[in-house]
Amino acid sequence: MVENTQGTILIVDDDPDIQIAGRLLLKRHFGKVITLSTPEDIPAILSSTPPDVILLDMNFGPGESSGQAGFEWLGRIRAQDNEVVVIMITAHGGVKEAVDAMKRGASDFVVKPWQNEKLLATVSAGLELSKTRRKAKTLTRSNERLAANSAKAEQPMLGHSPPMLAALTLIERAAPTDANVLILGENGTGKELAARALHRASRRADQIFMAVDLGTVSETLFESELFGHKKGAFTDARTDRIGLLEAASGGTLFLDEIGNLPLHLQAKLLTVLEQRRVTPVGASQSVPIDVRIIAATNRSPQDLANPNIFRTDLLFRLNTVEVTLPPLRDRAADIPELVTHYLRVYERRYDKPQKRVSDTAMERLQRYSWPGNVRTLRHSMERAVILSEQDAYEAEDFSLPDTARAAASRVETKQEENEPTASSHTLNLEQLEKEAVERALRTYRYNISHTAKALGLTRAALYRRMEKHGL
C-alpha cells in the first residue's frame, strides 16, 4: 500500500475516462493531481506549477497509433524541464513505441487498462527519481555558487592585547552555538576572519561557509542574489539560479557591510530570517532554509541604534551575540606579531630572504595610527618585502608618513577641511588625486563603500589608489 506522499502528478490523455480513473486513484496517494486533455497546455503548466511526474499518452486524436505525438511532446518537455519524470501511457499494441520513448528520455511506461497497484508503484518510483534529480540539480547549482564565491585561504587571528583577547573570548564562547552574531569594527580590522573563525569552531564546520559583501550588491539584484530566481523571472533570468541563503543551507552565511543595506531591503531580509523560508524571485512556493547568519558592519553602535538607518527588529535578530573588533591603533602591542607574520608570508611568496625589522622602524610602526587597520599593515609589509635592499627593514621601506606630521594633520583636520590646501594651486595630477582621496577618506571616516561612491570609484579601484599613494 502506497502512503500519501507530497508531489504533483500531471496526467495528459485525451480520453476523459482515463483522466477520471487516474485522478481518483492517484489523489488518494499524492499531494496534487492535474489532468489535461491536450498536450498544448503542458508548457504553461511547467512554467507555473512544475509537476514532479507526468503521465503522457503516446497518441492523441482518433485513429492515431504511431506514437509520434508522444515522441514530439516528450522532447519538448525535456527541453523545458529536464528534471521532470515522464511516464508514457500506451495501449497493449504500443509497447514497442513506449520502449523507444524510454530510449529518448522517458523514465517508464504503463499499459492501459492498467492495474492499480502497478500504476501506483510506477508513479511512486517516478516521484522518488524526480526528487533525486532536483536535489542533484540543487547541489550542482550550490557548487557553482560556491565556486563563484571561492573559498579564501584561512588566516589566523593574531594578537594578545587585552582588547583583542576580549574579542577572541567572545568568538570562542559564541562559536559552538547556532546564535546569530553581529561583528562590529572599522574597515580592515578582520571581520571576515572573525566570521570564518566562528564557523570553524561551530557544529557547522564541515558544512558550507559563504560570504557576500552587501556593499557590492545593487538594490535591483539583492533579491536575486540572496533569494535566487526562476527562469524567466526577469529579462536576464535565462536559467534557474539558487540564492545564497538556500546555497548556504546547513552551513553559515556571512553578510558583510550589512549596515549599508537600505531599509526596504532590510525588511525583506528580516522576513526571511523570521520565517526561515525563502521564496525565489518568480517562484510561487517558498523553500525552507537552515542557515546560521553572521553579519558585520563598520557602522557605529549609535548609527545602528538609529531606526532611520537600521531597523531595530533586524538588529535584535542579528546581534544575539555582538563582537567588536578593536582598531589597530588601540592594540599597538599586537603590531610586532602582525608585522612578523606578514613579512614571513610575503618573503615566502616572493622568494626573499628573511630579515629583521630595525628597532627604529618597529617603533615607527607601533606609533603609526594605521587608518586602514590590518589591511593597510598587510599592504605595507608586502611593499617592504618587494622594495627593501638592506640587511634589515628600515622605516622608509614601509612608506609610512611622518607620524608627528600625521598627528598634527589630524588635529587640524576640521579647520582645514574648508580651506585651500598647501598644494591647492598645483597642477600635478598625482598630488591632486592623493589629496582628493585623503579628503574623502576623512570626510567619510574611512568608510570604504561611502568613500568610493563619493569619488565615483569601485571599492577595488579605491583600494588601488590608497595603496598607490600610501594611504
Together in a domain, 435 and 457: yes
Is residue 160 domain-resident? Answer: no
Q: Are 466 and 372 in contact (CB under 8 A)?
A: yes
Among 324, 352, 381, the domain-final residue is 324
Tell me, what amino acid is at 125? A
Percent with pLDDT over 90 in the chain: 45
Q: For residue range 211-226, what is the model confidence (pLDDT) as tens digits?
A: 998 888 888 888 888 8
CA distance 246 to 227: 7
| Of the candidate ranges 6-15, 91-100, 334-343, the one whose mean pLDDT is the lowest | 91-100
CA distance 19 to 5: 20
**100 and 218 share a domain?**
no
Determine which of 90-99, 297-306, 324-333, 408-417 has the lowest per-residue pLDDT on average: 408-417
**By the 8 A CB rule, do 455 and 440 touch?**
yes
Instruction: Report how far residue 52's alpha carbon sits from residue 87's, in angstroms, rounded to the nearest whole number.
Output: 11
Residue 104 sits in the same domain as residue 57:
yes
Q: Is residue 153 part of a domain?
A: no
**Does residue 424 lie in a domain region?**
no
Q: Is there a domain that residue 230 lies in?
A: yes
- Percent over 70 (pLDDT), the chain: 89
CATH number at residue 464: 1.10.10
In this predicted model, what pLDDT tens digit does every residue of 330-346 receive, in sequence order?
A: 999 999 999 999 999 99
Mean pLDDT of all residues in the chain? 85
- In-domain check, residue 166: no
If you compute the radius of gyration of the chain from its CA atoms, what whole number of angstroms results?
Answer: 31
Q: With beta carbons less than 8 A apart as the criterion, state whether 423 and 435 touch.
A: yes
Are residues 75 and 12 both part of a single domain? yes
Same domain, 93 and 39: yes
Residue 110, beta-bridge partner list:
89
CA distance 112 to 53: 18
Both 316 and 348 in one domain: the answer is no
Instruction: Tell me the residue type at 2.
Output: V
User: Highest mean pLDDT range out of 58-62, 282-286, 311-315?
Assistant: 311-315
Same domain, 240 and 293: yes
Query: Is the pLDDT at 409 greater than 50, yes or no?
Result: no
Q: Is residue 229 part of a domain?
A: yes
- 64-94 per-position pLDDT tens digit: 777 788 888 999 998 888 888 999 988 766 7
Verify that 397 and 435 share a domain, yes or no: no
Each residue's pLDDT tens digit, 267-276:
999 999 999 9
Report CA torsion sign: 388, 392, 395, 398.
Answer: positive
Cis peptide before 113 (omega within 30 of 0): yes
Number of domains in the chain: 4
Q: What is the pTM of this model?
A: 0.59
DSSP 399: T
Distance CA 467, CA 437 (A): 11
Q: In whole angstroms, what is the distance from residue 27 CA to residue 25 CA?
A: 6
Q: Are residues 380 and 320 in the same domain?
A: no
Nearest to 217, CA basis, from 265, 182, 289, 176: 265
Helix (H), strand (E) counts: the chain = 20, 14
Residue 460 belongs to domain spanning? 430-469
CA 207, distance to chain mean position in Å, is 14
